[in-house]
Amino acid sequence: MSFFKRYLKEFMLAFGSLLFLSPIYIMFVNSFKDRSQLYENVLALPETLTFEHYIRAMDRMNFGLAFFNSMVITVISVFFIVILSSMTAWMLVRKDNVWSRIIFMTLIATMLIPFQTIMMPLLQLMDQIMQTTGIPMLNTRGGLIFMHIGFNASLAVFLYHGFIKSIPISLEESAEIDGANKLTVFWKIIFPILKPITVTVIILNVIQIWNDYLLPSLVLTDKDLRTIPLATFYFFGEFTIQWNQAMAGLVLTIIPVVIFYVFAQKHIIRGIGEGAVK
């Protein structure tokens, strides 16, 4: 390949992939424009650099609070998904009896159920639990976290299950002979070995829970509990659309995702691949 041809190709690929992200560019440049600039040419760079729309959007979406809610809900849900799924998967692999098989098959089979099939009865059941036991399942962060754990448990157990099967049992046996109990064996010996698959489980669940709109929209009614997708939805619904402000709001919602991507890019691409192929 000649020198020139090679650089032309390099340039084409880099430029082509940037062109693919042109919607992001359009969103970004128009978040700085005033109305007349925007309607004059949506593709042009902004003539002035004003953060006015960002400040308005942040205020109207109550972005700080929404970010906090999303963060708390995602982090706590993922924390429990990792702990509970890995523990369950380990037991299911090591105690290979009828019960373990039934539990595992049930978890896998229910992965086929779309959310729309469960959403209405789920709300009814949560309402019942609230009325009979007084546990606030609806309209609380805790209730939403509980439901996120339930919905994402199957895939996590499935991924851990596959990984644990490949770990030789001899390590655990010698520890148990030395008198360590199951909890110690699991946390001291097994859990550290699970690290690669734990990273995958974390990545897949962070993306899923952070972006989830429908479940939080059904569970949370209180304005102060809104997550970022919910705040975005109401932001677009409550006001007649001023595109520059709307674009500023969308840029805000994407910033955390981009930061996450920059820092965990390698893990994300690997995790997504592993989650899909299995």
Partner 1 sequence: MNKHHNKFWYLLFTLPLIIIFATVVLIPFFIGLFYSFFEWDGFSNNPMVYVGIDNYIALLDDGRFGQSAWLTLKFTIMSLILVNVLGLGFALLVTSALKSTNFARTMFFMPNLIGGLILGYIWQFIFSDAFRIIGDLTGNERIFFNWLNDTDFAMYALVIVFSWQMAGYMMIIYIAGIQSIPGEVMESAQIDGANYWQRFKNIVFPLLMPALTISLFLTLSFGFKIYDTNLSLTGGGPALSTELLAMQIYNEIFGYNNYGYGQAKAIVFFIVIATITLTQVYVTKKREVEM
Which residues from 57-86 bind partner 1, rule CB under 8 A?
84-85
Helix (H, G, I), strand (E, B) or coil at 264: helix
Examine residue 117 and tell whether it contacts partner 1 (CB under 8 A). Answer: yes
Interface pick for partner 1 out of 72, 75, 130, 229 (rule CB under 8 A): 229
Examine residue 234 and tell whether it contacts partner 1 (CB under 8 A). Answer: no
Examine residue 214 and tell whether it contacts partner 1 (CB under 8 A). Answer: yes
Interface pick for partner 1 out of 91, 167, 175, 193 (rule CB under 8 A): 91
Q: Please, which residue, 23 or 192, has the CB nearer to partner 1?
A: 23
Query: By the 8 A CB rule, do 86 and 68 touch?
Result: no
Rounded-to-10 torsion of CA 259, 260, 262, 266: 180
Among 22-30, 55-63, 164-172, 191-199, the segment contacting partner 1 (CB under 8 A): 22-30
Cβ at position 59, least distance to partner 1 in Å: 18
157-186: contacts with partner 1 (CB under 8 A): 157, 181-183, 186
Q: State the DSSP string of 87-116.
A: HHHHHHHHS-SHHHHHHHHHHHHGGGS-HH
Interface with partner 1: number of residues (CB under 8 A): 84
Examine residue 191 and tell whether it contacts partner 1 (CB under 8 A). Answer: no
- E strand segments, the chain: none
Which x/- pattern over 255-274 shows residues binding partner 1 (rule: CB under 8 A)? --x--xx---x--xx--xx-
Query: By the 8 A CB rule, do 88 and 154 touch?
Result: no
Residue 76 C-beta-side C-alpha neighbours within 13 Å: 14
Examine residue 193 and tell whether it contacts partner 1 (CB under 8 A). Answer: no
Examine residue 239 and tell whether it contacts partner 1 (CB under 8 A). Answer: no
Question: Token pair of 253, please?
Answer: 């919602």
Q: Please, which residue, 174 or 265, has the CB nearer to partner 1?
A: 265
Rounded-to-10 torsion of CA 202, 208, 211, 213: -140
Q: Please, which residue, 205 or 253, has the CB nearer to partner 1?
A: 253
The answer for 62, left when phi > 0, alpha when psi is -120 to 50, beta otherwise, is left
